[in-house]
Amino acid sequence: MSSARDAADHEASGSRRNQLVVVLATVILVVAVTLVIVAVTDGGGTLTPDSEQYRAVQVDGAPLVPFGGDTLGDPALGAIAPVITGASFDGSPVVIGPGSPTLVVFLAHWCPHCQAEVPMLVEWAESLRVPFGLDVFAVATATSPDRANYPPSLWLERERFPFPVLADDASATAAAAFGTTGFPQLVMLSPAGEVMWRYSGQTPDGLLEQLVAESLAALG
């Protein structure tokens, strides 16, 4: 009887040990998965390839005429730009509208001129030369997973892009509303939302700061 009882106790003890091992393994697995998620998302602040590259866009107001490339003779000068409501790649709301002098930069991830313009914008910000009171927004548009340098969210994060970014929808609705015909396209708006100038293409060294300074001086 003692031998049978000892065997039963041994078997029960072994069963409990097996159950404990399974529980500990499950806990370790859950902790490991959680750590991986935190590492990938950096606590929710770092974008991943799964971030939304397209976001819904709402346009309020008449679209601007397509830009023909002539900054001085642009028929949209003085027109009220439509208000663009959307979101960034991480879902944060972004509204481009009246209220402050505003520079809007339309970027396409596959465009080599955009890839050259972005570091200039980053350096402009990091050197603290962006005028006080000027709002700067980027619109990531013409996004295509079949083209180079995709996804735009990781490209701009890699470049340490410091300004708010509105992710355009798959139809490039925001870009069309501003009459975008090439990339990059820059649009300067007055506090009332009036178009002060539009420029298409990579800006030569010093030109962007000159155009912005002249616009702010004209506003008084």
C-alpha 21/C-alpha 201 separation (Å) is 63
Query: Is residue 23 pLDDT above 80, yes or no?
Result: no
For the chain, what are the domain ranges?
2-44, 58-219
Query: Is residue 6 pLDDT above 50, yes or no?
Result: no
Query: Is residue 163 pLDDT above 60, yes or no?
Result: yes
DSSP tag of 67:
P
Q: How much is the mean pLDDT over the chain?
A: 85
Among 30-34, 194-198, 216-220, the range scoring the smallest mean pLDDT is 30-34
Helices (H) and strands (E) in the chain, counts: 5, 8
Average pLDDT over residues 65-85: 98
Query: Is residue 38 pLDDT above 50, yes or no?
Result: no
Q: Where are the alpha helices (DSSP H) in 128-204?
A: 152-158, 173-177
Average pLDDT over residues 42-68: 79
Buried b (16+ CB within 10 A) or exposed e, 105-116: bbbbbbbebbbe
Query: Is residue 16 pLDDT above 60, yes or no?
Result: no
Percent of the chain with pLDDT over 90: 76
Q: Where are the beta strands (DSSP E) in the chain?
A: 58-60, 83-87, 93-96, 102-107, 135-140, 165-167, 185-189, 195-200
> Global pTM?
0.79
DSSP tag of 51:
S
Query: Is residue 31 pLDDT above 50, yes or no?
Result: no
Average pLDDT over residues 11-28: 44
Query: What would the CATH number be for the domain defined by 58-219?
Result: 3.40.30.10
At residue 51, the pLDDT reads: 72
At residue 10, the pLDDT reads: 45
* Residue 21 confidence class, pLDDT cut points 50, 70, 90: very low
Query: Is residue 46 pLDDT above 90, yes or no?
Result: no
